[in-house]
Amino acid sequence: MTLLDRLKTDVLTADGAMGTLLYSHGIDFCYEELNTEKPEIIEKIHKDYIAAGADVIQTNTYGANAIKLARYGIENRSRELNTAAIEIAKKAAAPGGQFVLGTIGGIRGIRKSTATNAEIIASVREQAESLLSGDPDGILFETYYDFDELSDSVKLLRTMSDVPIIAQVSMHEPGVLQNGLSLNEALHRLEGIGADVVGVNCRLGPFHTLQAFEDVTLPEKAFLSAYPNASLLDVEDGRIVYESEADYFGRAAVLLRNEGVRLIGGCCGTTPKHIEAAKKRLVGLPPLTEKKVKTKKPIVIQEAKPSTDVSICEKAKTARTVIVELDTPKTLLTEKFIEGANKLYDAGVDAVTMADNSLASPRISNMAMGATLKLQHDVRSLVHITCRDHNLIGLQSHLMGLDALGLHDVLAITGDPTKIGDFPGATDVYDVSSPELIQLIKQLNDGISFSGKPLKKKANFSVAAAFNPNVRVLDRAVKRLEKKIECGADYFITQPVFTKEKIVDVYEATKHLSTPIFIGIMPLTSMRNAEFLHHEVPGIKLSDETLERMRACGDDQERAAKEGIQIAKELLDTAAQIFNGIYIITPFLRYDMSMELIHYINELDALKERGIVHADSSN
């Protein structure tokens, strides 16, 4: 009798966690490598679950794909480890007794850049071919947070074989996937593309797993599965633990059956004791054939309050738009910063933009200063957000705070590594990359949290992204720019550019795009400033001519500042002709220098409106 035949008439008990048991024994290397190095350990765990009453066991291959094995340097052993795993499981199972599932684990979590679609599909194909060669009773896809990844994997396998497919998603929040799709909708979609058993595993304990299934209607042809964790995890003395009594898990298994689930196993934290408790309580219970789901009142997501200001992005598409960066103070004295921001805004800049601890050095929070400028001085702020300083929890909380303050103009950037800043021993977070952060911010604009939970209101962020044209191969930088556009970037702000030729090159390389680009112009203040930027600051390179002109000023600070302004004006002569967006970077709170450049831009635009051709400022 096949697995699907049994599920038509019975509620089956599956096994529990493999990694939890290996972890408890102090094994701290690649678990899948044990399939060849210590096969007796894996076989014993299979037999322990069978002795506990498991009708279904799965192979020790959750991470046995080339992408995950690469972290151990054994990516070329995927076929070997999968083949060995199916042999071990088949050997442990009684002839005509337990069903053996070949396991394939999900790769992506929140992060989309972990691997490309092509790489994931190639790894699934390789793993599936190896597992199928061992004639399993089914293939189990488990722990998939990314619904698109799971869908593509199911579709691929269905072209390869007619073996039963068990497809299980994982959720951060009960009843909803991280992309905002409801669990009920997700499971029915999986059924529609060929999955025979659909369900959930990992992340949530029995309580929240049950809560998630309350809204799930019975599929037309497929069966439901659930492999909850033993509980929510805890940490004791640096080790992960799960607090859950086996009998509690057993009682939860009955409640899952009452929600229509027919294949019930365990994930993280579960042991043979949990499976034994579940089996004892499920014996003799027939599967549920009818289920009424209470209609819940839909969650209404309010539209974002319309902005009274024209967006920076939209203005830059048709008219001159100037933003000026003014770093927040490194000390607790804020008067000069606020004075500078007010004067810049009064001069007509469209926004004052503030870095997020530039060069990894702590400054007064740009959120705090942005709110001060907006609420007390009516100055529009563009706030930078780095992936370096905030984990996913902090990023979402930070963005929700910005929305509450009405600060909707943001720049999503990776951030300079901490080792170059004031605290080189500090931790770099980088939970996500800047393209991924852009996607997550846009998800907030849909009223969906990073975990998929409804926020009851849409945010209204306009998202800028960084663009560094100071590279050897500009085409590659443009490819990265195009990727950020796909992720939702509304416009771009470049690193400071120091040659007219580079400005023209940027224009030629990006003129096929409709997304506005703000060319970065930074006035130099001294020869030392120029050499520091050129030699030590990532992403900035000066021309030989610019360096020589600044060296010629020697130690004359006034002359050097004037020369820096002159160089910036010459760059503006070119930039203002071909780009609407200008991004002026204020050095060392010298907002007087930025003010002079703003006035110069206004002069250029006034001459242009009058049809007068401006003479190059270098002449």
Instruction: For residue 454, give the DSSP letter.
Output: B
197-201 β-sheet, strand order: 12-13, 261-264, 223-227, 197-201, 165-169, 138-144, 99-105, 56-58
H or E segment and range at residue 167: strand 165-169
Q: 324: which 2 tokens?
A: 């000026």
CA dihedral 490, 494, 500, 506 (to 10 degrees): -50
Give the Cα separation of 57 and 76 in Å (integer): 26
Which DSSP string corresponds to 60-90?
Answer: S-TT-SHHHHGGGT-GGGHHHHHHHHHHHHH
The pairs formed by 335-342 with CB atoms below 8 angstroms and a separation of 24 or more are 336/589, 337/364, 337/369, 337/589, 338/372, 338/373, 338/377, 340/586, 340/589, 340/591, 341/373, 341/377, 341/379, 341/591, 342/377, 342/379
Which amino acid makes up residue 316? A
Helices in 163-226 by DSSP H: which ranges? Answer: 183-192, 206-213
H or E segment and range at residue 441: helix 434-445
Is the C-alpha dihedral spanning 359, 365, 369, 370 positive or negative? positive
Which amino acid makes up residue 239? R
Give the Cα separation of 524 and 599 in Å (integer): 17
Give the Cα separation of 296 and 454 in Å (integer): 15
Give the Cα separation of 323 and 508 in Å (integer): 23
The residues facing 166 across adjacent strands are 140, 197
Q: Is 267 annotated as a binding residue?
A: yes
User: 584 phi and psi, to 5 degrees?
Assistant: -100, 130
In sequence order, the 6+-apart residues with CB closer than 8 A to the CB of 125 are 156, 160
Helices in 70-165 by DSSP H: which ranges? Answer: 78-92, 117-132, 147-160
Give the Cα separation of 290 and 380 in Å (integer): 58
Q: 479: which 2 tokens?
A: 């490819």
CA dihedral 444, 446, 449, 451 (to 10 degrees): -130
Q: Is 387 annotated as a binding residue?
A: no
Decide: helix, strand or coil at residue 154.
helix
Q: What angle do CA 297, 302, 308 make, to 5 degrees?
A: 170
Which DSSP string corresponds to 314-364?
Answer: HHHHHS-EEEEE-PPPSSS--HHHHHHHHHHHHTT-SEEEE-SSGGG---S
- Half-sphere exposure of residue 347: CA atoms within 13 angstroms, side-chain side: 25
Give the Cα separation of 30 and 614 in Å (integer): 67
Decide: 308 and 461 in contact? Cβ < 8 Å.
no
Decide: 287 and 248 in contact? Cβ < 8 Å.
no
Binding residues for Zn(2+): 202, 267-268
Binding residues: 202, 267-268
